[in-house]
Amino acid sequence: MTSQHGHTVFTSFDAIPATYPIGIFDSGVGGLTIAAAIRRTMPDEKLLYLGDVARQPYGTKSPRTVTRYAVQASEFLVEKGIKALVVACNTASAVALDAISERFPGLPVLGVVEAGADGAARASARGRIVVAATEGTCRSEAYERAIALRRQDATVRCIPCPLFVALAEEGLTDGPIVESVARHYLGSLFDRDKGADGEAGDCLVLGCTHFPLLAPALARLAGPGVTLVDCAEATASMLVRLLEGREAPRGSGGGLQLISTDAPERFSRMAGKLFPAMGPSPAVELADL
Ligand code: DGL
């Protein structure tokens, strides 16, 4: 273990205690979709979740700013003591994963874009893939690159849907407002008669960790022939393989600790509303990065 700029940095994975949690971060409550899947898949592991709500949204910011925020969020979690890091934010995964991995050479780090791309490449029947994501994720073309490595026949259309983030953070996950915003962004892409290029999408990737919260409305809009891809389960499976591959010490007892960079009461209310399994008002600690 070494210390850089006051932060603890692990240089050897062997040195990381089994009792340490898995660190997870997003700009807000969206990454809890990933945390929930990890809890289902690895119930014995302790999870430490950071929602950087003071600086959200990440999706409309420049790659430079998102990278700075993502590295700071990672440093905060590493300093608390974690045995692996999940970047539960597509925007940060798309632009900052290399910077985070370079910053913590001894730590297993996993992003969510690979999982989403993998799911899309498997799920799409005709290779007509629509990715709903943030502006930053679309601008990075990370999905196009990751899918091209897996399916050369695929056409990928990445559609920025920034208002979906605000709707999810507001706890507004279904109903006429969500349907109308969804139609605004995605309506023409799943129109069997008027699809772009004359080809309607056959697969919709929820390329932002907030978007699975709107899944029922998005599934209705896309229609019965379209497969929705949510990267949460795939990320959890990848994490299992990553930790097994590194012969990581297993956790015990489970548990989820929540930290927010602003308004912890609001974070608690929204987490409780969107994820009833956490109870009506889970404890949320306030922290400055
Ligand atoms: N949930 C994040 C993502 O997956 C970012 C949402 C935002 O802050 O714009 O991209």
- pLDDT, tens digit (0-9, with 9 covering 90-100), for 220-236: 999 998 999 999 999 99
Asked if 246 contacts 105 with a C-beta cutoff of 8 angstroms, the reply is no
Instruction: Indicate the residue among 231, 257, 275 that finishes a domain.
Output: 231
Q: Which residues, listed in sequence order, are joined to residue 107 by a DSSP beta bridge? A: none
The question of whether 89 is a catalytic residue gets the answer yes
Cα dihedral across residues 195, 196, 200, 204: positive or negative: negative
Asked if 129 contacts 203 with a C-beta cutoff of 8 angstroms, the reply is yes
Given the residues 138, 158, 161, 208, the one annotated as active site: 208
Average the pLDDT over 144-151 and give the result.
97
pLDDT for 241: 94
Q: Is 164 found in the same domain as 21?
A: no
Average the pLDDT over 178-199 and give the result.
79
Q: Is 216 found in the same domain as 138?
A: yes
Residue-wise pLDDT tens digits, 130-147 = 999 999 999 999 999 999
Q: Is 131 found in the same domain as 60?
A: no
For residue 61, with 0-12 CB atoms within 10 Å meaning exposed, 13-18 middle and 19 or more buried, which class applies? Answer: buried
pLDDT at 106 over 70: yes
Average the pLDDT over 22-46 and give the result.
96
Q: Is 218 found in the same domain as 128?
A: yes
Asked if 249 contacts 16 with a C-beta cutoff of 8 angstroms, the reply is yes
- Tell me if the bond preceding 105 is cis, omega within 30° of 0: no
Residue 192 — very low, low, confident or very high, per pLDDT cuts 50/70/90? low
CATH number of the domain residue 161 falls in: 3.40.50.1860
Q: Is 102 found in the same domain as 241?
A: yes
pLDDT at 167 over 60: yes
Q: Is 216 found in the same domain as 160?
A: yes
Q: Which residues, listed in sequence order, are joined to residue 49 by a DSSP beta bridge? A: 24, 258
pLDDT for 190: 85
Measured in Å, residue 157 CA sits from the centre of ligand 1 at 18
Q: With a 6 A CB cut-off, is 23 part of the ligand 1 pocket?
A: no
The encoded tokens of residue 188 equal: 């023409």
Instruction: Indicate the residue among 231, 252, 271 that finishes a domain.
Output: 231
pLDDT for 148: 97
pLDDT for 228: 96
Q: Is 195 found in the same domain as 145?
A: yes
Q: Which atom of ligand 1 is nearest to the CA of 165?
A: 6
Instruction: Indicate the residue among 195, 212, 231 that finishes a domain.
Output: 231
Q: Is 240 found in the same domain as 102?
A: yes
Asked if 56 contacts 266 with a C-beta cutoff of 8 angstroms, the reply is no
Residue-wise pLDDT tens digits, 247-282 = 888 888 999 999 999 999 999 999 999 999 999 899
Count of the separate structural domains present in the chain: 2
Q: Is 132 found in the same domain as 93?
A: no
Q: Is 70 found in the same domain as 10?
A: yes
Residue 119 — very low, low, confident or very high, per pLDDT cuts 50/70/90? very high
Q: Is 30 found in the same domain as 89?
A: yes
The question of whether 208 is a catalytic residue gets the answer yes
pLDDT for 195: 46
Residue-wise pLDDT tens digits, 3-32 = 544 555 555 556 678 789 999 999 999 999
Q: Is 214 found in the same domain as 129?
A: yes
Q: Which domain holds residue 211?
A: 114-231
What's the angle, vertex CA 175, arms to CA 139 and CA 172, rounded to 5? Answer: 60
Q: Give the CA count within 13 Å in the CB-facing half-sphere of 280.
A: 0
Task: Tell me which of 161, 165, 169 to substitute to probe ligand 1's pocket, judged by most ligand atoms within 8 Å of the beta carbon.
Answer: 165
